[in-house]
Amino acid sequence: MTPLSLQQLEAELQQLDGWTIENSKLHREFKFASFVEAFGFMSSMALLSEANGHHPEWFNVYNRVTVDLTTHDAGGITQKDIDWAKNANKFI
């Protein structure tokens, strides 16, 4: 797996509501109505992450989940990260 080019990233970001690039990682903060909803999101995405062998860097405080994605083995943002972000957006 190779990192996406800047042009590829820009094209993908056009289709990824709420996602930006921060510190060379795909970044988004999700906000939910409650801690239970935030934790439910994380639980659902954890199962998907494990099934795909691709795990996020994430942080939870009450009703917020902050996610940063990069493919460490490839040294940048890859299609795996884009796919994870697209799936995450389906849960909100």
The answer to whether the predicted template modeling score (pTM) of the entire model surpasses 0.75 is yes
> Which pLDDT value is given to residue 92?
82
Task: Tell me if 29 sits within 8 A of 65, measured CB to CB.
Answer: yes
Q: What is the pLDDT of residues 22-66, one digit of tens each?
A: 999 999 999 999 999 999 999 999 999 999 999 999 999 999 999
* Pairing mode of beta strands 64-69, 25-31: antiparallel
**Domains (range + CATH), the chain:** 6-90 (3.30.1360.20)
Q: How many CB atoms lie within 10 A of CB 14?
A: 8
